[in-house]
Amino acid sequence: MAEDGAGEPTVESKLVYEGRILDLRVDTVRLPNGRLTTREIAEHSDSVCMVPLDSQGNVLLVRQYRKSVESHLLEVPAGGIEENEAPEDAALRELQEEVGYTAGKIKRLAGFWVSPGWCTEFMHAYLATELSPAQLDADFDENITVIRVPLAQTMDLITRGEIQDAKSVASLLLAMRHLGDN
Protein backbone atom coordinates (compact mmCIF):
# COMPACT_ATOMS: atom_id res chain seq x y z
CA MET A 1 0.00 0.00 0.00
CA ALA A 2 1.66 3.20 -1.16
CA GLU A 3 1.35 6.48 0.69
CA ASP A 4 1.78 9.82 -1.03
CA GLY A 5 3.38 11.41 2.02
CA ALA A 6 1.40 14.64 1.64
CA GLY A 7 -0.94 14.05 4.57
CA GLU A 8 -3.00 16.76 6.21
CA PRO A 9 -0.98 18.61 8.86
CA THR A 10 -3.10 19.82 11.79
CA VAL A 11 -3.12 23.60 12.16
CA GLU A 12 -5.51 23.66 15.13
CA SER A 13 -7.36 21.05 17.17
CA LYS A 14 -10.40 21.85 19.33
CA LEU A 15 -12.07 19.40 21.73
CA VAL A 16 -15.81 20.09 21.49
CA TYR A 17 -17.29 17.23 23.54
CA GLU A 18 -16.09 14.79 26.20
CA GLY A 19 -18.29 11.76 26.77
CA ARG A 20 -18.30 8.40 28.52
CA ILE A 21 -17.35 6.37 25.44
CA LEU A 22 -16.01 8.97 23.03
CA ASP A 23 -14.71 12.49 22.68
CA LEU A 24 -15.33 14.73 19.68
CA ARG A 25 -12.81 17.13 18.25
CA VAL A 26 -12.62 19.42 15.25
CA ASP A 27 -9.24 19.68 13.56
CA THR A 28 -8.31 22.42 11.13
CA VAL A 29 -5.96 20.84 8.59
CA ARG A 30 -3.90 22.01 5.66
CA LEU A 31 -4.56 20.12 2.44
CA PRO A 32 -1.70 19.32 0.02
CA ASN A 33 -2.84 22.24 -2.17
CA GLY A 34 -2.41 24.63 0.79
CA ARG A 35 -6.10 25.21 1.52
CA LEU A 36 -7.47 24.91 5.05
CA THR A 37 -10.46 22.75 5.93
CA THR A 38 -11.89 21.02 8.98
CA ARG A 39 -12.16 17.38 9.98
CA GLU A 40 -14.67 16.23 12.63
CA ILE A 41 -13.16 13.32 14.52
CA ALA A 42 -14.64 10.97 17.10
CA GLU A 43 -11.92 9.78 19.48
CA HIS A 44 -12.77 6.25 20.57
CA SER A 45 -10.61 3.64 22.27
CA ASP A 46 -9.61 0.48 20.45
CA SER A 47 -11.99 -2.47 20.58
CA VAL A 48 -12.35 -6.19 19.95
CA CYS A 49 -14.86 -8.48 18.29
CA MET A 50 -15.02 -12.24 18.47
CA VAL A 51 -16.46 -15.09 16.43
CA PRO A 52 -17.21 -17.62 19.20
CA LEU A 53 -17.55 -21.07 17.65
CA ASP A 54 -18.88 -23.98 19.71
CA SER A 55 -18.00 -27.65 19.25
CA GLN A 56 -21.11 -28.20 17.06
CA GLY A 57 -20.04 -25.52 14.55
CA ASN A 58 -22.43 -22.86 15.83
CA VAL A 59 -21.51 -19.20 16.17
CA LEU A 60 -22.78 -17.43 19.29
CA LEU A 61 -24.20 -14.13 18.05
CA VAL A 62 -25.84 -11.38 20.06
CA ARG A 63 -29.06 -9.58 19.26
CA GLN A 64 -29.28 -6.11 20.73
CA TYR A 65 -31.07 -2.86 20.11
CA ARG A 66 -28.93 -0.14 18.56
CA LYS A 67 -30.43 3.29 19.17
CA SER A 68 -28.36 4.94 16.43
CA VAL A 69 -30.14 2.87 13.75
CA GLU A 70 -33.40 2.35 15.73
CA SER A 71 -33.23 -1.40 15.19
CA HIS A 72 -32.26 -4.71 16.76
CA LEU A 73 -29.09 -6.02 15.11
CA LEU A 74 -27.60 -9.50 15.01
CA GLU A 75 -23.87 -9.16 15.69
CA VAL A 76 -20.76 -10.92 16.83
CA PRO A 77 -19.87 -10.13 20.46
CA ALA A 78 -17.70 -7.03 20.77
CA GLY A 79 -16.56 -4.38 23.18
CA GLY A 80 -13.93 -1.91 24.23
CA ILE A 81 -10.40 -2.51 25.39
CA GLU A 82 -9.84 -1.11 28.87
CA GLU A 83 -6.78 0.93 29.79
CA ASN A 84 -3.64 -1.28 30.03
CA GLU A 85 -5.62 -4.33 28.85
CA ALA A 86 -4.24 -6.56 26.07
CA PRO A 87 -6.65 -7.07 23.14
CA GLU A 88 -6.72 -10.86 23.76
CA ASP A 89 -7.68 -10.29 27.41
CA ALA A 90 -10.40 -7.84 26.36
CA ALA A 91 -11.76 -10.41 23.90
CA LEU A 92 -11.99 -13.07 26.61
CA ARG A 93 -13.60 -10.61 29.07
CA GLU A 94 -16.16 -9.39 26.54
CA LEU A 95 -16.95 -12.99 25.55
CA GLN A 96 -17.79 -13.76 29.18
CA GLU A 97 -19.80 -10.57 29.64
CA GLU A 98 -21.83 -10.85 26.45
CA VAL A 99 -22.37 -14.59 25.84
CA GLY A 100 -21.38 -16.27 29.12
CA TYR A 101 -18.45 -18.29 27.79
CA THR A 102 -14.68 -18.22 27.73
CA ALA A 103 -12.43 -19.75 25.09
CA GLY A 104 -9.68 -22.33 25.45
CA LYS A 105 -8.22 -21.06 22.17
CA ILE A 106 -8.28 -17.57 20.73
CA LYS A 107 -6.83 -16.77 17.30
CA ARG A 108 -6.36 -13.26 15.95
CA LEU A 109 -7.98 -13.02 12.52
CA ALA A 110 -7.19 -9.40 11.59
CA GLY A 111 -7.50 -5.80 12.66
CA PHE A 112 -9.27 -2.93 10.94
CA TRP A 113 -10.32 0.69 11.31
CA VAL A 114 -14.02 0.83 12.15
CA SER A 115 -14.79 4.05 10.27
CA PRO A 116 -11.56 5.88 9.40
CA GLY A 117 -13.29 8.80 7.72
CA TRP A 118 -14.29 10.21 11.12
CA CYS A 119 -13.32 7.86 13.97
CA THR A 120 -10.05 6.74 15.63
CA GLU A 121 -11.38 3.30 16.71
CA PHE A 122 -9.27 0.29 15.65
CA MET A 123 -10.86 -3.14 16.11
CA HIS A 124 -9.10 -6.47 16.63
CA ALA A 125 -11.04 -9.53 15.36
CA TYR A 126 -10.65 -12.99 16.91
CA LEU A 127 -11.86 -16.53 16.43
CA ALA A 128 -12.72 -18.05 19.82
CA THR A 129 -12.97 -21.85 20.11
CA GLU A 130 -12.99 -24.54 22.80
CA LEU A 131 -15.77 -22.66 24.56
CA SER A 132 -16.74 -23.35 28.15
CA PRO A 133 -19.26 -21.60 30.42
CA ALA A 134 -17.75 -18.65 32.33
CA GLN A 135 -19.97 -15.67 32.95
CA LEU A 136 -19.08 -12.16 34.03
CA ASP A 137 -21.66 -9.50 34.84
CA ALA A 138 -22.90 -7.76 31.72
CA ASP A 139 -22.50 -4.01 31.32
CA PHE A 140 -25.33 -2.15 33.06
CA ASP A 141 -26.54 -0.55 29.83
CA GLU A 142 -26.69 -3.64 27.61
CA ASN A 143 -29.71 -5.83 26.90
CA ILE A 144 -28.40 -8.78 24.91
CA THR A 145 -29.96 -12.02 23.69
CA VAL A 146 -27.56 -14.80 22.62
CA ILE A 147 -28.46 -16.58 19.37
CA ARG A 148 -26.70 -19.75 18.16
CA VAL A 149 -26.40 -19.98 14.39
CA PRO A 150 -24.55 -22.62 12.36
CA LEU A 151 -21.45 -20.97 10.89
CA ALA A 152 -22.41 -22.41 7.50
CA GLN A 153 -25.62 -20.31 7.56
CA THR A 154 -23.99 -16.96 8.34
CA MET A 155 -23.22 -16.16 4.69
CA ASP A 156 -26.95 -16.46 3.93
CA LEU A 157 -27.75 -14.20 6.91
CA ILE A 158 -25.30 -11.62 5.56
CA THR A 159 -26.64 -11.72 1.99
CA ARG A 160 -30.28 -11.55 3.20
CA GLY A 161 -29.45 -8.49 5.32
CA GLU A 162 -30.05 -10.18 8.67
CA ILE A 163 -26.44 -9.44 9.66
CA GLN A 164 -25.69 -5.85 8.64
CA ASP A 165 -22.93 -4.34 10.72
CA ALA A 166 -19.44 -4.21 9.27
CA LYS A 167 -17.54 -5.79 12.18
CA SER A 168 -19.79 -8.85 12.08
CA VAL A 169 -19.65 -9.22 8.31
CA ALA A 170 -15.86 -8.81 8.26
CA SER A 171 -15.09 -11.08 11.20
CA LEU A 172 -17.48 -13.84 10.09
CA LEU A 173 -15.99 -13.85 6.58
CA LEU A 174 -12.48 -13.90 8.05
CA ALA A 175 -13.42 -16.82 10.32
CA MET A 176 -14.90 -18.78 7.41
CA ARG A 177 -11.77 -18.18 5.36
CA HIS A 178 -9.55 -19.23 8.28
CA LEU A 179 -11.58 -22.41 8.79
CA GLY A 180 -11.71 -23.18 5.06
CA ASP A 181 -15.47 -22.61 4.76
CA ASN A 182 -15.22 -20.15 1.88
- Give catalytic residues, as residue numbers: 142
* pTM (predicted TM-score): 0.90
- What's the average model confidence in pLDDT over 10-35? 96
List of E strands, 33-143: 36-43, 47-52, 58-66, 71-75, 78-80, 101-113, 122-133
In this predicted structure, what is the pLDDT of residue 48? Answer: 98
CA dist 49 → 17, 36, 41, 75, 107 (Å)? 26, 37, 22, 9, 12
- What's the average model confidence in pLDDT over 143-156? 94
Question: CA angle, corner 39, sides to 42 and 75, nearest 5?
Answer: 35
- What's the average model confidence in pLDDT over 126-136? 91
Q: Are 11 and 29 in contact (CB under 8 A)?
A: yes
Please check the confidence at residue 113 and state whether its pLDDT lies above 90.
Answer: yes
H-run or E-run covering 179: helix 166-179
In this predicted structure, what is the pLDDT of residue 15? Answer: 97
Q: Which residue has the higher pLDDT, 8 or 139?
A: 8
**Which CATH topology does 47-179 take?**
Nucleoside Triphosphate Pyrophosphohydrolase (3.90.79)
Please check the confidence at residue 181 and state whether its pLDDT lies above 70.
Answer: no
Q: Where are the domains of the chain?
A: 10-43, 47-179
- pLDDT tens per residue across span 72-98: 999 999 999 999 999 999 999 999 999
